[in-house]
Amino acid sequence: MARMRRRWPLWRTALFFAGLATLLAALASPIDGYAAVSFAVHMVQHMLLTVVAAPLLMLGAPVRPLLRGVPAWVRGGVVRPLARARTVRAFAHLVRHPLVAAALYVGGLYAWHLPSLYDAALVDARVHLIEHAWFFFSALIFWSVV
């Protein structure tokens, strides 16, 4: 961050760390344990992931300082070619379309609460991890559009 032309706003850093703290609270605190036995706590956990942590992380805009922190050869040899690749750009453009982002987010919330998927997530820790990943990453995409 020291090489950046302008100082990185402290409020963005604060929002990013608040998002990380919320993520930690949702996934590595007693909330996670109680979520297995209480539907209400389970929903609180999902809301923390999707409507608190994800927007805070997006508002923190961590990509620019993170990219500044990696070696120039990684930025030039890995990140830049990936960012310029036609398929990557087309995919990013597709998922960041407002209707697609909303469908991934809302549709995922709906689908994961259908009885078969909901029960599978309660029984199998791997399915539960996939559920949380879906909620979190679809929320990141959704909030990046908003």
Q: What is the percentage of the chain residues whose pLDDT exceeds 90?
A: 75
The reported pLDDT for the residue numbered 8 is 85
Give the residue ranges of the chain where pLDDT is below 50. 1
Q: Output the pLDDT for position 66.
A: 85
Domain borders along the chain are 10-145
Task: Tell which residue, 32, 36, 61, 7, has the closest CA to residue 123.
Answer: 36
- Give the pLDDT of residue 6: 76
Residues 32-56 have pLDDT tens digits of: 889 888 999 999 999 999 999 999 9
Helix, strand or coil, per DSSP, at residue 50: helix
DSSP code for 5: S
Residue 121's nearest CA partner among 51, 27, 35, 48 is 35
- Position 5 scores a pLDDT of 66
Predicted local confidence at residue 4, as pLDDT: 52
State the Cα–Cα distance between residues 10 and 65, nearest whole angstrom: 12
**Token couple for 19:** 């998002």
pTM score of the predicted model = 0.86
Q: What is the model's pLDDT at position 1?
A: 47
Q: What percent of the chain has pLDDT over 70?
A: 97
To which H or E segment does residue 82 belong? helix 80-84
